[in-house]
Amino acid sequence: METDFLAQINTLARVPEHSLPLMRAMSQGAPFCVGPYFFMAAADWLMAVAYPLRGRYSHANFEAALAEALKKSGATNCWAVGPDLPPRLHGHIVDRDRFYLLPAGAAPPARLRGPLRRAAAALRVEESGEFTPDHRRLWAEFMGRADRKEGSPLAPHVRELYARTPEALAEAEGHLRLLNAWDGEGRLVACLLLDYAPEKFTSYVLGAHSRAHYAPHAADLLFAVMLENARTAGKRYIHLGLGVNEGILRFKR
């Protein structure tokens, strides 16, 4: 049964943390399932995804799965993400957030249609699997703004996602892709990292835009193209992930 769930995980995936290529690439852990619950483990740590791959969440079922996973992995440190956690763990909750979903059939807001046409005329959008020196510069600029407190701060795990992007692209067997916007002078002005592995949805993993080479509505254009690509691929929705911080939350809303 555990092997069956792991073999079907891309079909059954309900949240970005169910994406086997993404989680392997970003965590370097070993995946396994206990019943319908997905876990990643390495060294002394365990990550538990308390969103069941099938059926409804249950405190009792998750408690049993977690106990077995801890025994199997020998982990002494554990992190969990889920719709809820058993009452005995409530004192250990360090953050509360919510996932944001965007139906693949959604149209850009009417107020953005004119700006999107102008952005499409000024920028070239393409998709790639290569993290180039241009991407490295854009990532460094974006993270530098956060370091200087010119934008919303980045949580440590989010910083790690940015830091591991080149390795993740190389290890994810084509499931992770970069959606890029280039200006007329060949400069990378915005980029999204997307995960196509889940069958039902595309995951927006992270993104960045340049202020040094600012292009109006470049990120909005990439989101519009992301929606088009999701529809073409037969996806039902875009999984935008968690709110993370006020700046990212405002953009997702």
The residue ranking higher by pLDDT, 239 or 97, is 239
**φ and ψ at residue 89, rounded to 5 degrees:** -100, -5
Which residues, 6+ apart, have CB-to-CB distance to 63 below 8 Å?
86
Residue at which a domain ends, from 23, 54, 85: 85
Model's pTM, two decimal places?
0.90
Considering the domain architecture, whether residues 23 and 108 belong to the same structural domain is answered as: no
Judge whether 94 lies within some domain.
no
* Other beta carbons within 10 Å of 161: 16
Residue at which a domain ends, from 57, 85, 113: 85
**Chain segment 15-45, per-residue pLDDT in tens:** 999 999 999 888 889 999 999 999 999 989 9
Structural domain count of the chain? 2
Considering the domain architecture, whether residues 59 and 116 belong to the same structural domain is answered as: no
Judge whether 91 lies within some domain.
no
**Chain segment 88-143, per-residue pLDDT in tens:** 999 999 888 888 999 999 998 899 999 999 999 999 999 999 999 999 999 999 88
Mean pLDDT of 213-231: 96
Judge whether 198 lies within some domain.
yes
Which residue has 């619950």 as its token pair? 37
**Chain segment 183-219, per-residue pLDDT in tens:** 999 999 999 999 999 999 999 999 999 999 999 999 9
